[in-house]
Amino acid sequence: MNIIKDYTFALNKQLVGFVRDFIIKVKEESSLTDKDLQEILGLDSNSYKQLLDKNFDGNISSGIISTLYILTNGKISLQEIWKENVIDVNDIEEYLRNIRERHYYEKVTNLLKKLGIHNEKDLDNFLTLFDENNLISD
Integer Cα distance of 3 and 133 in angstroms: 46
What is the reported pLDDT for 101?
A: 97
What is the reported pLDDT for 10?
A: 85
Residue 30 is classified by DSSP as S
What is the reported pLDDT for 113?
A: 95
Give every residue of the chain whose pLDDT is below 50, as ranges.
none
What is the reported pLDDT for 2?
A: 63
Could you report the per-residue pLDDT of 17-55, keeping only the tens digit for each?
888 988 898 888 888 999 999 999 999 999 999 999 998
What is the reported pLDDT for 83?
A: 79
- Give DSSP secondary structure letters for the chain: ---HHHHHHHHHHHHHHHHHHHHHHHHHHS---HHHHHHHHT--HHHHHHHHSTT------HHHHHHHHHHTTT---HHHHTTT----HHHHHHHHHHHHHHHHHHHHHHHHHHTT--SHHHHHHHHHHHHHTT-S--
Integer Cα distance of 138 and 134 in angstroms: 10
